[in-house]
Amino acid sequence: MKEEKTEKNGSQGVLYVILRVLTVITAAMIFFPIANPARVCDVISNKISLFTSAISYNSLLPSPYRIIKSGQMDEMVIVTAYIGALVALIGIILMAAGACCSLGNLRLQKLGLKFSIIGSIIDIAGCAVCYVAYLMVQQGPENFLDKIGPRFPTGVLVYGGIAAVVLIASIILMVIMPKPEKGMRFEMESKFKLFLMFLPFAFLAFLFCYLPLYGWRYAFFDYKSGGTLSMDNFVGMKWFTYLFTNKMVRSDVINVMKNTLGISGLNVITSWLPMVFAVFLCEMGSMKFRRFVQAFTTIPNFISWVLVYAVALSIFSTDGFINTFAIQAGLMTQDDAQSYLMGDHLTWIKMWGWGTWKGIGWSAIIYIAGISGIDQSLYEAATVDGAGRFQKIRHITLPGLLPTFFVLLLMAIAGILSNGLDQYLVFENADNHDHVNVLDLYVYNLLGEDQIPLSTVVGMFKSVISIVLLFMANGASKLLRGESII
């Protein structure tokens, strides 16, 4: 009896592993165009995934729009393909919910199996609808079939096959698993709860941070906007060597790196300012005044750089407030008026100043939270010992904030090549271009010039160098402080 139970538990474990692995694979595949079941003909773009097809009908429609209007293809083909993709996506979401529930107790596992069964059936139904769309394409006007190009959606077999396996595994598990006891509650271990709470953020990180790395393939092709990637325009490492061998490009990159490191270096050197600001803010006696200062210094973070530039222009331009006041006060003549904003004088300092003004209040929030987490009994003991305000700051507050400061410092060093784009784009002009052209702005300008492969190469080097800097800074921290963040 005991051996039979062990054997049954072993088979359940294997089936659950299969169910979870296939669900994860399916969930990841919805973001890649290679197996999109909604691509039932050549006029539907081969660059859209199942996820895009399901959430955006227009992603399917623009390419075949002219063909539909001319009567070469019925619009119901696109509508059917869209419905199929949407239904398949809903099924995959239910399957993912079932896989998450499988981490709980017996009652929660039973509920998860119901989700998996329903989700896999819906997924298969969605694939079937996409196949119907493919049959509708084949039944279109014969004289236009070559132009439309009916394409059997291989994603129907891929997604349908995986869903069928998940369905079979779920049914078997539903049969062999014992019934939960009456009154059993839905429960899950804390580690699995924490994992599922973390999962949405991991998904967003994958979606916005790791999935775009798929675009690195453009660095190996002679690609122009609107073109296609094929072995005909594959050039290997051409653009990597071009970055270092072309004198003009190499000169531009050296100048851009100088600006990037210069401005970012100022930010790193002054990264202690938010901490000091937070300390003095918390030392204010009046709570009302403290809240006012905190709100007043945090609001600029939510103002767009376009509006910041508009305000700066009204103050520091040739006919701005500063020059107007100086002329009216007799401090300068109209001929002496100059544009303090657009001039090339102290450009790095000005960019650092605007960035610090805009972000210091927002950056101080994490230090304010750190101060509130310091044990208040330490301050009480220091008061009994006769310590003054600045002594408490020096011996209690600052040491309590140093771990947070060093973590943020390491992150700042890792992101030293990422100055951002908005600020430098709006402040750039013909006079200060040579000193305000940072790496992100340079990549943006390359994209505007349709040099997509070269901009991709520069972006790749930026990512690699940032990772190297992070590990170097982390190693230095571990060597000097005995602590690290990795």
The token pair at 306 is: 């376009």
* Contact assessment for residue 234 and residue 220, using Cβ atoms and an 8 Å cutoff: yes
- Collect all residues with Cβ–Cβ distance below 8 Å to 50 and sequence separation of at least 6: 29, 30, 31, 35, 36, 37, 38, 85, 88, 89, 155, 159
pLDDT at position 356: 92
Residue in the block written with tokens 């901009």: 455
- CA distances 181 to 336, 373, 486, Å, are 88, 44, 44
Any idea what the Cα angle at residue 381 is, between residues 377 and 382, rounded to 5°? 115
- Collect all residues with Cβ–Cβ distance below 8 Å to 126 and sequence separation of at least 6: 37, 84, 85, 86, 87, 88, 89, 90, 91, 159
- Collect all residues with Cβ–Cβ distance below 8 Å to 102 and sequence separation of at least 6: 16, 19, 20, 108, 109, 112, 113
Global pTM value: 0.73
Name the CA dihedral angle for 105, 111, 114, 120, rounded to a multiple of 10 degrees.
-70
Identify which of 380, 347, 355, 342 has the alpha carbon closest to the alpha carbon of residue 301.
355
Per-residue pLDDT of the chain (486 residues; tens, 9 = 90+): 444 444 446 678 888 888 899 999 998 899 888 888 988 887 787 888 899 889 888 877 766 666 777 667 777 888 898 999 999 999 999 999 999 888 888 888 899 999 999 999 999 999 999 999 888 888 866 666 667 778 888 889 999 999 999 999 999 988 888 888 777 788 888 888 888 888 888 888 888 888 888 888 888 988 887 777 777 788 888 888 988 888 888 888 899 999 999 999 999 999 999 999 999 998 888 888 988 998 999 999 999 999 999 888 888 877 778 888 887 777 776 666 677 777 788 889 999 999 999 999 999 999 999 998 888 888 889 888 888 888 888 889 999 998 889 888 888 888 888 888 889 999 988 888 888 999 999 998 888 888 888 889 988 888 888 888 888 888 888 887 777 776
Compute CA 109 distance to the chain's CA centroid, rounded to the nearest angstrom.
Answer: 32
Residue 359 exposed, middle or buried by CB count within 10 Å (0-12, 13-18, 19+): middle
- Collect all residues with Cβ–Cβ distance below 8 Å to 461 and sequence separation of at least 6: 243
Name the CA dihedral angle for 208, 209, 210, 214, rounded to a multiple of 10 degrees.
70
Residue in the block written with tokens 């009046």: 286
Which residue blocks in 177-246 are alpha helix, DSSP H? 190-205, 238-245
The token pair at 287 is: 């709570």
